[in-house]
Structure 1
């Protein structure tokens, strides 16, 4: 069973999402919260696998709640950010905080169920449009030569190639086609990359690749 916590300041949203998810045989809604602070408290008490986190909430917003909840942990719950806008201004900061993906509040019911299952499995729900927004964020920032973390030295040349492709928003299937290998081989590489770098999922891998200079904007 995938345990889910719903954090949103609108009672109707919490109830609607809760009813939808509870109807699935493999999903269990363990609780909800009306603000970011309550979400942190509930998550620590209920130990959910996935937290649906609204961005705009009173007391503590969803970004800060995500940051405090995860705080650099790789074993914490997966956070799925709920947003009203496709390319919210919060994309970059949410990823930096450790979010595993984004979901529009008006997305079809099937998309919500799929999103929860995807992030619970350890994948990231990172659409190409979100990746482009992330790249644009880096493009707008002043760049300086940055030393590459020693962690990158642990990667094999092939793993480094895979990380570069992840950073460009490629799916496992697309990476397999680019490198002419089986998709299962790519999945194995991705798992090893995340393990060696201490990253939660490929969303964090994208941020890591750009911040370390492994991938240059426009390169």
Structure 2
């Protein structure tokens, strides 16, 4: 009897066993590397109503949430350049972030309670990001209104840039920032994603 790949069943079983052993060895090596502090950035990919989301974290906290349209490989390369090349796929380290995002999309969470690593945003951008959680769930604020909260109240365009480069979308809710005329404006995840999120936040709790 042969498998679909044309291998004898006995050989296929051995191959599967070897793959399991390799997976176990890899897990053990990653655990040891983590215990020794040799992993600077852990990442995983989760499914969501917006498509696949890349989550990345450091010892300081969640450092990146990335949409598929950004190119996850490109995001990982950027993290390697700007944070550390010691990046490994370690889903368990991102379990809290994955769980809170799942709760958010299910309508059971309105605020995120995660440690954040904001090293990818500095200066005025970080100032803007700090004000985003002040926009309540189910509400919006204009770019001008957010600028008015900062040390540069006329820097409306810079607020737009800060939102467009937000390394932690969803968690820092730049999707709630819209144009003064009420139109959505741009969004890193695309206009459809922004509209979906705003619609989600107007639904009654489940």
TM-score when scaled to structure 1? Answer: 0.27
Pick the structure with greater CA Rg.
2
Greater helix share, structure number: 1
TM-score when scaled to structure 2? Answer: 0.28
